[in-house]
Amino acid sequence: MTDPYAAAAASAEQLASLTGLDSHDIAVVLGSGWAPAADAIGTPDVVVPLAELGGFPEPTVPGHVPAVRSVRAGSHRVLVFLGRTHLYEGHQAATIVHGVRTAVAAGCRVVVLTNAAGGIRAGLRPGQPVLISDHINLTGQSPVAGPPPPGGYPSRFTDMSEAYSAKLRAVARAADPSLEEGVYAALTGPHYETPAEIRMLRAAGADLVGMSTALETIAARHLGAEVLGLSLVTNLAAGLSDQPLDHGEVVAAGQQAALRMGTLLAEILPRLA
C-alpha cells in the first residue's frame, strides 16, 4: 500500500456505500475458529465480502472467513470481521491492520480483538476465555514504522501505556465476573513455539501466546480507538502437556467454544462505547 491511511479511508467509504450506513460504533475481529460466534452476536443486516472493500487479501488460514457483518448490538452498530490475515501469510504490517484502520475510518471508537491462544500460566485451561491486560510484541514489526503518517493523523510515536482499556475490561468483568486477565505474547509463527521459548515467555511475564492481535492493537491505539482484547485458550503451550500442537485442533477448540464466546460478546457489546 502506497498510503495505507488513504486505502483504509477508501475501504470505509465503500463499506458505507454497501451497508447504507454512514458510520459504525464498534469493530470486532474474530480469531481462529470463532466465525460461528458471529451468529450468537446477532443477525446481520448486511454481509459484505472483504474483496469488495479493497485492500483485504484472501485469507489462507482455515477458520478465517473473508467477510464482515454489520450487526446491531443494543444502541450500537457493530462491524464483525469473520477473520483476519497474519504476518506468517507473507503480508506487510499495513495489510495486517487494514481491517482495524478501515473500522476506525468508518467511525468505530472501540475495537474488540479476539484470538486463539496457547495457555502459559498455570491454571489456564482449554476452552477458557481470558481478557488481555497487556501484550509483549515479539513480531519485530510495527504498523506505524516506515514513513510518517500523512497530515491530520496522530504522530507515529504511539503511547502504549494502556494498550488494552481498563475501563472496557471492567465492563467485560461486570458481564462475566469469572473472566481472568493475562498478558499476551505475540510471535510471528506459523510454527509453534519450542518448550524453551515458552519458558522464556513465562519468565518475561506472558500468560498467553499467539500469532496475532498486537499489531492491530498498536494501529487502533495510534488512531485513538480503545481496545478490548479477549483470548480463547485453545491449548496448553509447548512443553506444558504431552499432546503435540496442531492447528486443526486449535480451530476445532474455537468452534466448540463458539457459542459461549458469541454469547459473552453479545452480553458485552451493548455495554461498550
Query: What CA–CA distances, in Å, run from 12 to 21, 104, 215?
Result: 10, 8, 20
What does residue 174 show for φ and ψ, rounded to 5 degrees? Answer: -65, -35
Report how far Cα 76 is from the mean position of its chain's Cα atoms.
19
Cell of residue 89, nine digits: 501469510
Residue 2, all three cell numbers: 502506497
Q: Classify residue 149 by its DSSP letter.
A: P
Alpha carbon 118 to its chain centroid, in Å, reads 15
Task: Quote the cell numbers at residue 25.
Answer: 460504533
- Residue 56, SS3 per DSSP: coil
Instruction: Name the maximum alpha-carbon separation found in the chain.
Output: 53
Active site residues: 32, 64, 86, 88-89, 116, 211-212, 235, 247
Q: How far is CA 181 from the centre of its chain?
A: 16
Grid cell for residue 177: 465476573
Tell me whether strands 26-29 and 208-210 are parallel, antiparallel or unpaired.
unpaired
